[in-house]
Amino acid sequence: MTRSTRQRERQAETETEDDEREGVRGCPECDSENLVKSADRGELICEDCGLVVEEENIDPGPEWRAFNHAERQQKSRVGAPTTQTMHDKGLTTTIDWKDKDAYGRSISSKKRSQMHRLRKWQERIRTKDAGERNLQFALSEIDRMASALGVPRSVREVASVIYRRSLAEDLIRGRSIEGVATSALYAACRKEGIPRSLEEISEVSRVNRKEIGRTYRYVSQELALEMRPVDPKKYVPRFCSELTLSEEVQSKANDIIETTAEKGLLSGKSPTGYAAAAIYAASLLCNEKKTQREVADVAQVTEVTIRNRYQEQIEAMGIHG
């Protein structure tokens, strides 16, 4: 008897604690569960009888109000998201170059010179040692080359991560910073499915093609990047766009690449040269003729390469030129 009473009391206490933990379930006045939270006053109100069930709740939102996206962007005081493309991941303070105060008014010449000095020292103290300065230089090189190549931001992020991994594994010792940065960008382009040839990369880089290739092979092997061979079809849309060829030619070039690759012609061949030859063959078949010289200039291969690949492809397709 005593034991069952104690059990009931404990059960009642547990239920009360659970109710307190879960908060108010319904209105104490009309037992309605139709409760709404007032965002501007931080109150919990019953929609049926109007009773204020809870008040002075903590509002986790901002203290300002915005009615459209532009106002929200203007009033928001949070910083930009972190990024791997900056040596400090974008977490340091930046002093604006505009010589104006918080109200948009021009500041005095004395304040202007003071802000100039602060800005200069801010830039100096952003890097604490030589390692950070080298990282800053390498990431700025990646950003410069990526801009020149016209690749998206995702490629820059991946390239920065690859470079940081190379730095952590001490792969840069004995190699140039520019060489490792360029090879990281080349690897990122291949990883993201936006391949750029070594010739294109070397045009925007400060190191030669041979060093880029050598450093890339070393970095990809040491970091186990597991790079797949580049699909020639990835080059077709870009080359066709630069040659102002139609969708029909692009589709036909892709068909030629697929058919001939299945017969084993692609093995050991340069993907850019293979894609260029397929585009040349497709332009002839679709009556949108382009010269071998024009296609070779866009693909950055020789006319001899295009002629050799073209002959192989049309023979495999059973077409007699």
- Is 286 marked within a binding site? no
Q: Which two tokens stand for residue 123?
A: 């830039």
- 223: Cβ–Cβ under 8 A, 6 or more apart, which residues? 162, 165, 166, 169, 171
How many H-runs (helices) and E-runs (strands) does the chain carry?
A: 13, 3
How many angstroms separate the CA atoms of 302 and 246, rounded?
23
Q: Which two tokens stand for residue 314?
A: 């049309």
DSSP 8-class letter at 33: -
- Is 30 marked within a binding site? yes
For every residue of 166-206, DSSP letters joined together read HHHTT--TTS-HHHHHHHHHHHHHHHTT----HHHHHHHSS
- Is 46 marked within a binding site? yes
How many angstroms separate the CA atoms of 160 and 138, rounded?
9
How many angstroms separate the CA atoms of 309 and 317, rounded?
12
How far, CA to CA in Å, does 55 sit from each of 18, 36, 37, 186, 192?
21, 12, 10, 59, 52
- Is 240 marked within a binding site? no
How many angstroms separate the CA atoms of 188 and 162, rounded?
8
For every residue of 91-112, DSSP letters joined together read -S----SS-B-TTSPBPPHHHH
Could you list the residues known to form a binding site, using ranges: 27, 30, 46, 49
Could you list the residues known to form a binding site for Zn(2+), using ranges: 27, 30, 46, 49
